[in-house]
Chains A and B, each alone.
Chain A
Amino acid sequence: MAEVIVVTSGKGGVGKTTTSASLAVGLSNRGYKTVVIDFDIGLRNLDLIMGCERRVVYDFINVIRGEANLNQALIRDKHAKELYILPASQTRDKDALTQEGVQKVLDELQKTFDYIVCDSPAGIEHGAQMAMYFADHAVVVTNPEVSSVRDSDRMLGLLSSKTKRAEERREPVKEHLLITRYSPKRVTRGDMMSLEDVNEILAIPLLGVIPESQAVLRASNAGDPVILDEESDAGQAYADAIERFLGEDKPFRFVSEKVHWIKRLFSIKEKEHA
């Protein structure tokens, strides 16, 4: 039985799709057969980030409506071995995303995959609720600023009430906090919320902290999920997050400001003089 992971946030543009892509690649590179589904009907971003946009023929909605079967719609990823992508449709017909339809597709995927990653659209409406409804895990993507934290809090409320697990009063959805676009420099300057502040308000286990990084944009443009850029800070931070997801203990990197060794030397000197 596959485990269903929803990547969600409430607020738009915080890094859900970037995270879904790297999470999916990371899990499959660790040997888990993984499929990543784009729930953002009408916008369709995931295929671009994964670099498979030219190979989209059928999509999620086609499968739900029975216009194509799952094997026709699943796209094999070019980076990782056991990874497939189920793209969103651009027909803008959000209502086509029915609960029975989603259930049918997930049931079928459950049979062959270890992980099903659901890239949620922004907001708290129908599409986002469909993406979370069947989840076993939720990766709540949050930027360190008040409105994003508020929306994530809202999302956590929905996860505890509007999911299948909640409705059936089973063990609740496992919540993971992923803070993205983190900039220690801006935290020090006081124009960004700190890790501790975010953590105190949301109070769920911290899965990772992804730094604000040029590498993300570069990766998106190339259609190669940033986790594959092993030299980059963001790539390494995503790799750490995957390890933590799989139960390993990893220290947090890229969370405090790098101080150049010359500067550090000077500050020691200054202290001695004082």
Chain B
Amino acid sequence: MIADRQACFQLKASFFPCTILQISHYDLNQLEQQLFATIQRAPNFFLGSPVIIDLEKIKDLTTVDFSQLKKVLINSSLVPMGIRNGSEKQHIAAVSAGLPVVTIGKNSKETTQPTTEPEKQVAQPSTPGSKLVTTPIRSGMQIYAKDADLIVLAPVSVGAELLADGHIHVYGPLRGRALAGVRGNKDARIFCQKLDAELVSIAGYYLVKEELQNDADGGMMQIYLENEEVKLTKCGR
């Protein structure tokens, strides 16, 4: 708590949320329009949020104008951080346009199988492979269950964030954000007693509050991925 006057900085491990913009069809005008529409739906979530451009699906394209692409994102109030999964040529072009090649938020391929590293970072593993939290998760708090499921026996507030490599179970109202399978496990699911979340995500595919509202009917819900689409159903159905 005491400020150390000698130290100029502190390194903090973080799971700072970063949105991946996977471009499947390169058309800057269309891209701009679609971004505008998306941001309109959830301004709080997107405005000023960092974005990594994923080139996986347009790898073979040699005509990508990176400085123009960067402008489009900035004009949409996003913060382009860099690119990934492009070809060698694309990488060179991107870097000269001021978009570095980033290696965080790894390739989807690498992470479909969650790696089984030793459990040293799970603070209090309840049983191997799961992390149990019994106190409320308040606004500004973030809980990560590394290589594990996360089980929460208390409310999760607006502004709180749950992350797990495995499933997430919330026996209480889920009002914050829940991201299951954060390292790419598409079989991860989210279960919660009362769904009122700001955002739910499975392996990086997500739905924001506006998209959740119609389907959440107050009962126990589950959220899972089917054909790259996030689905929600009532539990036991």
Interface residue? A98 (CB, 8 A): yes
Do A150 and B158 touch across chains, with their CB atoms under 8 A apart?
yes
Do B2 and A156 touch across chains, with their CB atoms under 8 A apart?
no
Interface residue? A99 (CB, 8 A): yes
Interface residues on chain A, size class: 20 to 34
List of A residues within 8 angstroms of B135 by Cβ: 160, 172
B157 and chain A: residue at smallest CB distance: A153
Mark the stretch among B8-16, B81-89, B137-145 that contacts chain A. B137-145
A98 with B157, Cβ < 8 A, contacts A154-B138, A154-B139, A156-B138 known: no
For chains A and B in complex, what number of residue pairs have CB atoms within 8 angstroms? 43
- Chain A 91-124 residues near chain B, CB threshold 8 A: 95, 98-100
Interface residue? A236 (CB, 8 A): no
> In whole Å, how far is A135's beta carbon from the nearest beta carbon of chain B?
13
Interface residue? A259 (CB, 8 A): no
A95 with B138, Cβ < 8 A, contacts A150-B159, A153-B158 known: no
Contact with A along B139-161 (1 / 0, CB 8 A): 11100000000000001011110
Do B159 and A156 touch across chains, with their CB atoms under 8 A apart?
no
B5 and chain A: residue at smallest CB distance: A95
Interface residue? A201 (CB, 8 A): yes
List of B residues within 8 angstroms of A161 by Cβ: 141
Bound-state Cα–Cα, A99 to B158, Å: 31
Interface residue? A182 (CB, 8 A): no
Do A157 and B2 touch across chains, with their CB atoms under 8 A apart?
no
Do B3 and A95 touch across chains, with their CB atoms under 8 A apart?
yes
A99 with B2, Cβ < 8 A, contacts A154-B159, A201-B157, A203-B155 known: yes
A10 and chain B: residue at smallest CB distance: B139
Bound-state Cα–Cα, A162 to B140, Å: 13
Do A157 and B155 touch across chains, with their CB atoms under 8 A apart?
no
Do B136 and A156 touch across chains, with their CB atoms under 8 A apart?
yes
Interface residue? B1 (CB, 8 A): yes
Classify the secondary structure of A's interface with B: helix
- Choose from B1, B138, B140, B160 the contact partner of A99 (Cβ within 8 Å): B1
A157 with B138, Cβ < 8 A, contacts A150-B158, A150-B159, A201-B157 known: yes
Bound-state Cα–Cα, A153 to B159, Å: 9
> In whole Å, how far is A177's beta carbon from the nearest beta carbon of chain B?
13
Do B139 and A153 touch across chains, with their CB atoms under 8 A apart?
yes
B142 and chain A: residue at smallest CB distance: A157
Do A160 and B138 touch across chains, with their CB atoms under 8 A apart?
yes
Bound-state Cα–Cα, A131 to B137, Å: 22
List of B residues within 8 angstroms of A126 by Cβ: 3
Do B138 and A153 touch across chains, with their CB atoms under 8 A apart?
yes
List of B residues within 8 angstroms of A203 by Cβ: 136, 155
List of A residues within 8 angstroms of B136 by Cβ: 156, 160, 203
Given A157-B157, A158-B140, 18 more A-B residue pairs with CB atoms under 8 Å apart are A95-B3, A98-B2, A99-B1, A99-B2, A130-B1, A133-B1, A153-B138, A153-B157, A153-B159, A154-B159, A157-B137, A157-B140, A157-B160, A160-B135, A160-B138, A162-B1, A201-B157, A201-B175
Contacts from A to B (Cβ < 8 Å): 95, 98-100, 126, 129-130, 133, 150, 153-154, 156-158, 160-162, 172, 201, 203
Contacts from B to A (Cβ < 8 Å): 1-3, 135-141, 155, 157-160, 175
Closest 6 CB pairs of A and B: A157-B138, A153-B139, A154-B139, A157-B141, A154-B140, A153-B157
